[in-house]
Amino acid sequence: MSSRPNVLLIVADDLGFSDLGAFGSEIATPNLDALALQGLRLTDFHAASACSPTRAMLLTGTDHHLAGIGAMAEFSDETIRRHPGYEGHLNQRVVTIAELLRDAGYHTLISGKWHLGRSAQTSAAARGFERSFILEGAAHNHFNWSPPVPPHKMPRLLHAVDGTYREGLEAISELPQDFYSSTSFTTRLLQYLQERPQDEQRPFFAYLPFSAPHFPLQAPDELIAKYRGRYDAGPGVLREERLAKLKELGLVAEEVEAHPVVANTPEWDALDEQGRQQSAKAMEVYAAMVESLDQNVGRVVEYLRSSGELDNTLVIFLSDNGAEGAALEALPIIGKRVQSFIHKHYDNSIGNIGRPNSYVWYGPHWAQAATAPSRQFKLFTSQGGIRVPAFITWPGLQRQGAISHDFATVMDIVPTLLELAGAEHPGTQYQGRAVLPVRGRSMLSYLQGHSPQVHDDEVSTGWELFRSRAIRQGQWKALFIPKPNGPGRWQLYNLKNDPGEIHDLAETEPQRLAKLIEQWQRYVDETGVVEFGYPGRLLRELGRGIIRLFTRQPRTL
């Protein structure tokens, strides 16, 4: 086996913790399951609480507030973007893993969701990828379909998450008629792999960031049909099934206490028959999207097996944040406009849900079936928003077929890959410009069985987005969720005993909390976190409580 392995980095978009079979799901994911069971499944692996911040951390090894995505570009303006680290795209203070591996002699390839800049100058091709086909923005119709409406006449919230495509430095004006995101991204990556010069022996770094299963939930009819009726019992039943399977697999402790479900959409029993059918159908489509993603991963694995490269390929898989619990219809004022636009331009009849001209999401109840036992979901810095399913598979792995309960983050990927490639991060200078060092730590010694853990218990790690904050040190975590979404004060949790973040120990462990808050302030000083009063009507809505649209008083299902 070569000392310089190929790397296949796969990212799912808004996948929940238990959405793969190897992580407790009923969804058919045999290809990902085979990789996960062969490798090391990570149960305490962390991302940011939303997609573009995670991608910034994943590709640079440092905090997203330093890398240019301090706030998501869709929800910032010129006032915000004037602050260092808040440019809305990967800035020049960081160097990407693609740039460094390219310099070290790797083929660098990407096909999928970029979400780190929407121009040629901020594209993947400008940040180290030799071949690139990218969705520039946050999301898009998964098929080649869009309503015949100019962008400026779309509700701002839908337009904000709408995407455009680019190959290399060139914008793409038309997609193929048979375009479907997961399939088309995979086909293009396979093309890039197949077109490598045959006389070169360079290893490859292939980045396959899917835009599935991000809403709008859409999938091929034949896959949706496989799940017909599977979710008719509702999200509460699914949640209990998933939790039982997680315990059976040893991914969570038998005695784990799951956080109560929080949602501001109706309970399953409060829905009428049509409402339950629509909700169950959305979940069926979601499952079909996950299965499609798995099938396409299988295509890449089969190619690598047939080309004789699989045995020298490190495979890393992760989701970019917790499951998407969006209930856009519940957003005051803007939600009504979104619903009106969708009603006018899309067909969300039950029989049509999942097709190109439908536009649905599945909401907080289904999301928390996937994030349980953790608290909440995407956009929260509670565990449901930042703990993600992940695994690493590599023949050089000493912990094959095992489960890791040790803490790690997406920032650890860059130093790990550099060490594997025999390359080094440039430190503070790269190609004549000042750059920032990595904040992550290489996992290689841990993966090879030489170190008992990736991070020392004294190391602290922070999170912040939309004023939701967290700081963790070892098994202890301080969490701040502002009002009205939370108590508007710091809470304290022992994640070893309370992974669901249910029992607040702030009053009984005040000194420990005070030390963590000191660590939080250090994190703010080091990363340049700025808290904004969001301008503009949409931004004010989001700034006042972007997470509020997902929450109300908790109720256990």
Q: Catalytic site residues?
A: 51, 115
The H or E element that residue 137 is part of is none
Exposed e or buried b per residue across 373-401, where buried means at least 16 C-beta atoms within 10 angstroms of its C-beta: bbbbbbbbbbbbbbbbbbbbbbeebeeee
Closest by Cα among 446, 453, 448, 445 to 395? 448
- Find tokens 């049909």 and name the residue: 225
- Mutual angle of helices 363-371 and 235-249, in 10-degree steps: 10
17 three-class SS:
coil
Contacts of 495 (CB under 8 A, 6+ apart): 383, 472, 475, 476, 477, 501
Check if the beta carbon of residue 488 is closer than 8 Å to that of residue 502.
no
- Cα–Cα distance, 16 to 319 (Å, whole number): 8
Residue 224 tokens read as 């949706």
- Cα–Cα distance, 289 to 292 (Å, whole number): 5
Residue 399's alpha-carbon distances to 20, 391, 404, 457, in angstroms, are: 20, 11, 9, 21
Residue 469's alpha-carbon distances to 49, 478, 520, in angstroms, are: 10, 8, 9
Provide the edge-to-edge strand list for the sheet that holds 460-465: 460-465, 468-473, 476-480, 490-494
The H or E element that residue 420 is part of is helix 413-421
Length of the chain: 557
Strands 170-172 and 204-209, sheet pairing: unpaired
Closest by Cα among 149, 193, 142 to 165? 142
The DSSP-derived string for 39-100 is SEEEEEEE--SSHHHHHHHHHHSS-HHHHT-SS-GGG--HHHHTSTT-SSS--TT---HHHH
Residue 555 identity: R
- Cα–Cα distance, 196 to 180 (Å, whole number): 25
Check if the beta carbon of residue 30 is closer than 8 Å to that of residue 42.
no
135 three-class SS:
strand
Q: How many CB atoms lie within 10 A of CB 506?
A: 17
